Amino acid sequence: MESQYYKYLKDKILVKPEHLPFIMSLVSRKHLKKNEILLSPGQICKNMFFVEEGLLRLYSVGEDTGKEHILQFATENWFISERGSLYFGNPSEFFIDALEATTLIIFDQKFIEQASEISPEFRNYNEYILQNHIRLLQKRINSLIGATAESRYLDFIKLYPNLTPRIPQWMIASYLGITPESLSRVRKGLAQTKSK
């Protein structure tokens, strides 16, 4: 069966054909309905997830305000996890849930180590993911401490053009660290300057 994850291992991670069956034998697949919750605060996150189809989000809820703060979206061919919990064993401070009906591949930290042992390509790609994650987070911090909401919004739709139409605007606002009302004003301003 040519699953999305299989294709990804073969074509993107460049895992050697002889290693593919073993690696595939260690993972499992799961289906989530829309709005289903995959991880809640307080739980120890035991798994990492690969999205074959659908859309997940990682977010926190302010203890005092009750407001959601979105840390990450994960769409097709993305990995997502709560690394602070997965790698360090701490209780999760975040939620992961499904914004659409989603098909996932599930594996754990031990799988990553096992697969890395037999496949150097897998090991390299795993490091690539970590490095890239750091690069993106750093970029986001840089814009959060230095750029206006408008500029951050423009960065967002440029970086995730196919994601933008799939999620409500208040979630984009939550990702950017502003209110939906503010985002609405930002968009209004952009529409006006553009039309001139």
Partner DNA sequence: TTGATTTCCTAACATACATCAATGCTTCAC
Partner DNA sequence: GTGAAGCATTGATGTATGTTAGGAAATCAA
Which range of residues in 51-59, 86-94, 125-133, 142-150 is near DNA by CB under 7 A? 142-150
Q: Nearer Cβ to DNA, position 24 or 190? A: 190
Which secondary structure element, helix H or strand E, spans residue 93, and what is its range? none
Residue 169 binding target from a copy of itself, DNA, none, CB below 5 to 8 Å by type: DNA
Q: Nearer Cβ to a copy of itself, position 60 or 184? A: 60
Q: How far, in Å, CA of 187 to CA of 153, rounded? A: 9
Q: Nearer Cβ to DNA, position 65 or 162? A: 65
Beta carbon of residue 33, minimum distance to a copy of itself (angstroms, whole number): 27
Bridge-partner residues for 32, per DSSP? 102
Contact letters for a copy of itself, residues 42-61 (x by CB under 8 A): ------------------x-
Contact letters for a copy of itself, residues 82-101 (x by CB under 8 A): -xx--xx----x--------
Q: How far, in Å, CA of 53 to CA of 19, rounded? A: 24
Q: What's the burial of 82, exposed, middle or buried (CB within 10 Å: 0-12/13-18/19+)?
A: buried
- Residue 177 interacting with a copy of itself (CB under 8 A): yes
- Cβ-contact 103, 30 below 8 angstroms: yes
Residue 117 binding target from DNA, a copy of itself, none, CB below 5 to 8 Å by type: none
Give the residue, chosen from 144, 157, 169, 181, that forms a contact with a copy of itself under the rule CB under 8 A: 144
Q: How far, in Å, CA of 136 to CA of 102, rounded? A: 24
- Cβ-contact 41, 94 below 8 angstroms: yes
Contact letters for DNA, residues 154-183 (x by CB under 7 A): --------------xxx------xxxxxxx
Per-residue b or e along 99-121, where b marks 16 or more CB atoms closer than 10 Å to that residue's CB: bbebbbbebbbebbebbbeebee
> Which residue has 């203890």 as its token pair?
63
Q: How far, in Å, CA of 82 to CA of 91, rounded? A: 10
In the complex, which residues of this chain contact DNA (CB under 7 A)? 65, 148-150, 168-170, 177-188
In the complex, which residues of this chain contact a copy of itself (CB under 8 A)? 60, 62, 65, 67, 69, 71, 83-84, 87-88, 93, 127, 130-135, 137-142, 144-146, 174-177
